[in-house]
Amino acid sequence: MKQRIMVVDDARELRDVLSLYLRNAGYEVLEAADGLAALDCLKSSEIDLMILDIMMPRMDGFELLKHLDRQEKKRQFPIIFLSARTEVQDKIRGLTLGADDYIEKPYDPSEVLARVMAVLRRTRQQKEEQSRPVKVGELTWDVTNRLIYLNDELLQLRAKEYQLLTLFMKYPGRVYTKQEIYEYLWQQPYLNDENTIMVHISNLREKLNDDPRNPDKIVTIRGLGYMLKKED
């Protein structure tokens, strides 16, 4: 199945040339003249990458990117900015907003094509890495399906327990303070609510068959916090 790329630029002649290069390279191409037209097109079409101009009428490239990342459904595709704005602060702003690359106008279409191929390759590799199961000792985290197994037995976890255990599994051996854990789970300032943290740790230990008097999975580091023990 062909990968689909959307070219968003108010300059028709630039869209035509770039689309021709992309189609000749085997990609399917959608075109839009501004940000609002791109949003309308995305309602009925999924894409693998967007090539996006900045200075456009109605909705510019910066606003479109911010709008896409405010939507409830997470943006799944990378974005490459193409722009005549060459100031360093513009590049920094574009990359800070979440763009994957920034190319100045005027450009060579063959260079754009090479950048497209590189970004798509990097995105594919990242998705493959993110979908690989994470294994820490007896625990296996099926990232794609959001499931965690203990010795091949599915753990029945509540939402906060799942969030807490996956936090530990991302960086086994790292100590998380009670404040870090609280603010990660509840997304609000920590107010010395130690009992809430301790209850969740206790429940998680129980489901992991972790002896609360001598835990060998979720370990208490006195005066600091908790960590998931690395395998030796």
Give the per-residue pLDDT at 76: 86
Question: What pLDDT is attached to residue 232?
Answer: 59
Q: Which residue ranges in the chain fall short of pLDDT 50?
A: none
pLDDT, position 72: 64
31 strand-pairing partners: 7
Cα 146 from Cα 230, distance rounded (Å): 21
Beta strands across the sheet bearing 225-228: 176-177, 225-228, 218-221
Could you list the beta-strand ranges (E) of 98-154.
Answer: 101-104, 134-136, 139-142, 147-150, 153-154
Q: Give me the domains of the chain, ranges plus CATH numbers.
A: 4-130 (3.40.50.2300), 134-228 (1.10.10.10)
